[in-house]
């Protein structure tokens, strides 16, 4: 392939990437919507987007870090405090094992003073309208994760690797 053809192809690919990014952002130029973050197209990119992953040391109960896996028997609940961070957002994903993992309820409550682009962020919960394993956007101010096993049997929960 000639150098000139290669250069034209690179310019074409760059233009397509720019158009894709603008279309993905909605073309509005308003930036990030605090009520829809991360947007579905960004979530689809999985490990490439959304900030660093939440670590076990970021979740504590009475000063004791999260221990993998967390086992909840039927009717049991646990609450974990999420530490603050330098990153604006972190990704928190959980892997569930057990007879009825769909009966697990998870809620992430950001600190009440938490803002994103000047707007107060909302509580996130699972199960929700999205399919798949529990995923959360965890903000720099920290907050609280609450887990409740509403089903039969024991459910084991661990942070995604």
pLDDT in tens, 19-69: 777 766 655 545 555 555 555 554 555 444 557 888 999 999 999 999 989
What are φ and ψ of residue 64, in 5° steps?
-100, 125
Query: How far apart (Å, rounded) are the C-alpha atoms in residues 17 and 37?
Result: 21
- Chain segment 17-30, per-residue pLDDT in tens: 777 777 666 555 45
Q: pLDDT (tens digit, 9 = 90+) per residue, 104-129?
A: 999 999 988 888 778 888 899 999 88
Phi, psi of 137 (to 5 degrees): -100, 120
- 8: which 2 tokens? 């034209």
Residue 143 has pLDDT above 70, yes or no: yes
User: What pTM value is reported for the model?
Assistant: 0.67
- The alpha helices in 25-147, defined as continuous H runs, are 40-43
Instruction: Tell the burial category of 128 from Cβ atoms under 10 Å away from its Cβ (0-12, 13-18, 19+).
Output: exposed
User: Token pair for residue 56?
Assistant: 């076990």
% of the chain residues with pLDDT over 70: 81
Q: What's the mean pLDDT when you consider all of the chain? A: 82
């Amino acid at each position: 392939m000639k150098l000139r053809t290669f250069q034209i192809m690179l310019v074409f690919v760059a233009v397509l990437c720019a158009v894709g990014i603008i279309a993905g952002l909605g073309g509005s130029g308003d930036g990030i919507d605090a009520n829809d973050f991360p947007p579905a197209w960004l979530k689809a990119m999985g490990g490439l987007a959304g900030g660093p992953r939440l670590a076990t040391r970021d979740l504590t109960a009475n000063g004791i870090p999260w221990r993998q896996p967390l086992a909840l028997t039927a009717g049991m609940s646990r609450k974990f405090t999420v530490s603050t961070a330098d990153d604006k957002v972190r990704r928190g994903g959980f892997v569930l094992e057990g007879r009825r993992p769909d009966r697990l309820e998870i809620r992430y409550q950001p600190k009440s003073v938490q803002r994103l682009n000047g707007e107060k962020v909302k509580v996130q919960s699972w199960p929700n309208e999205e399919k798949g394993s529990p995923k959360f956007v965890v903000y720099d101010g920290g907050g609280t994760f609450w887990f409740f096993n509403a089903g039969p049997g024991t459910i084991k929960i661990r942070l995604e690797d």
